[in-house]
Amino acid sequence: MLSASELESAVARRTHELEQALAKLEEEKVALTLAVRDARAGEKQLQGALDGGRDFVWEYDCRTGVVFRSSGWMSMLGYDEGAFDSSPEHWTEIAHPGDQELAFELFRKFMEGGIEFHEAEYRLRDAAGEWRWVSSKGRIIERDATGKPVRAAGTSTDITDRKEAQEALRASKEEAERANRAKSEFLANMSHELRTPLNAVIGFANVLRKNRDGRLNDTDLTFLDRIQANGVHLLRMINDVLDIAKVEAGLMQLTFSIVRLDELISASVAQCEGQLQAGVRMRTTFPSGPMSVRADDVRLHQVILNLLSNAMKFTERGEIVVSVQCDSTGSPLSVDVRDSGIGIPMDRADAIFNSFEQAESGTARRFGGTGLGLAISRSLCEQMGFTLTVASELGSGSTFTIGFAPQPAHSS
């Protein structure tokens, strides 16, 4: 049995322990009060930000199917407090019929664990009866012991303005494409109407230049030379414009066959040699024996002639070399057209393949041309399954390379 002093000491010790426990509880109470206050302030701040951005948060109870949506749901859709309804049934009532099936299917896969994150876009009818686009994103935030989803949460955002801008951009793009196709089709279909009268002008000028009756003097013949030269130049420009129009309109028809590349190059070089400037020579270098590729012979000839024409135009002295690279079996890998001309600035090497582009602004004035030849040549190469590239150094010349696709064994 405790003595009076021992009992008094035990009571004092127990009283002190209780006082310490009460002080600790008071501290925890104050800390909890502050935490709740901060949480509410944070929640209010977050909700204010969400409401200001026409967003809302949602939470879904996977076991009961009950969904909670924050008040941003009302501000987004314009419903007042009395009409506010967070139930799934209300969502079904105001969701666009064309979007419901996909939205439900995505949410079902999300709930079944088929997809890690939920993301869907759908339309909801607001209080004024207008459709508003909503982007909803979420994830599972709680699972049971078996891994089955218990709760999911996420945010939803009003994206109506973005959708309307996208639709306006799409409509503008389609209209621009339609107008561009109409323009290209018109130009492509004008081939006969433009070429026929011009060919007649060139033809009759050529007949008169022969001067069989001797009635024309030197001045007359000079004028006829100018008529014919300008007619040929204009016809070449028209052909370029019509070709690029056909390419853009998808009307360029190609006929493939096995083409003797060595013969095609030799013929192209022979065709151009008479137009070389004084002090410039043109030569070829490639393996002996036949070399073949599968291509449209007319269009491949057009590309090679264009590259040779460009090389002659921009080379005032030196040489133009056409070479063919082959693999170990003799199948052509590429054709290189190298010149010692003015070259191309590095920052313009890609631009020269665009329609109506040349290496520099003064090039067209000095050397002439439409700026369409390389654009047409690259398009034709791509349609034949080839590539057309350039390597150049300003003041030291350029090398244009036609790269061939792997050739069938029988074509070598």
For the cut 50, the answer to whether the pLDDT of residue 410 exceeds it is: no
Q: Are residues 402 and 315 in the same domain?
A: yes
Do the beta carbons of residue 370 and residue 240 sit within 8 Å?
A: yes
Helices (H), 95-217: 97-111, 160-189, 191-210
Phi, psi of 359 (to 5 degrees): -60, -40
Whole-model pTM: value is 0.51
Mean pLDDT is highest, among 63-72, 182-191, 269-278, for 269-278
Domain tally, the chain: 4
Q: Output the pLDDT for position 289.
A: 83
Confidence band of 370 (pLDDT split at 50, 70, 90): low
Q: How far, in Å, are 82, 182, 183, 379 from residue 243 at the CA level?
A: 68, 15, 13, 10
- 165 domain-assigned: no
Q: Are residues 329 and 239 in the same domain?
A: no
Give kind and range of the element (H or E) at residue 376. Answer: helix 373-383
Give kind and range of the element (H or E) at residue 27. Answer: helix 4-52
- 164 domain-assigned: no
Q: Are residues 261 and 319 in the same domain?
A: yes
Q: Output the pLDDT for position 193.
A: 75
Helices (H), 190-260: 191-210, 218-249
Mean per-residue pLDDT for 236-260? 81
- 163 domain-assigned: no
- 150 domain-assigned: yes
Q: Considering all CA atoms of the chain, what is the largest pairwise distance in Å, rounded to the nearest integer?
A: 158
Mean per-residue pLDDT for 263-268? 94
What percentage of the chain carries pLDDT values higher than 90?
23
Task: Give the domain CATH number at 238.
Answer: 1.10.287
Phi, psi of 115 (to 5 degrees): -130, 145
Coil vs helix vs strand at 77: helix
Tell me how far the alpha carbon of residue 280 is from its chain's centroid: 42
Last residue of a domain, one of 215, 249, 283: 249
Do the beta carbons of residue 397 and residue 318 sit within 8 Å?
A: yes
Task: Give the domain CATH number at 101.
Answer: 3.30.450.20
pLDDT digits (tens, 9 = 90+) for 107-160: 888 877 767 788 889 899 888 899 999 998 888 888 888 888 888 888 888 899
Higher confidence at residue 357 or residue 216? 216
Give kind and range of the element (H or E) at residue 301. Answer: helix 297-314
Beta bridge partners of 57: 155
CA pair distance 9, 48, nearest whole angstrom: 58
Q: Are residues 127 and 193 in the same domain?
A: no
Averaged confidence pLDDT in the chain = 81
For the cut 50, the answer to whether the pLDDT of residue 59 exceeds it is: yes
Q: Output the pLDDT for position 234.
A: 83
Q: Are residues 83 and 110 in the same domain?
A: yes
pLDDT digits (tens, 9 = 90+) for 178-195: 887 777 777 667 766 777
The amino acid present at 16, given as its one-letter code, is H
Residue 89 domain boundaries:
54-158
Q: Are residues 376 and 308 in the same domain?
A: yes
CA pair distance 356, 375, nearest whole angstrom: 8
Q: Output the pLDDT for position 34.
A: 67
CA pair distance 123, 98, nearest whole angstrom: 9
Mean per-residue pLDDT for 225-249? 79
Q: Output the pLDDT for position 366.
A: 47
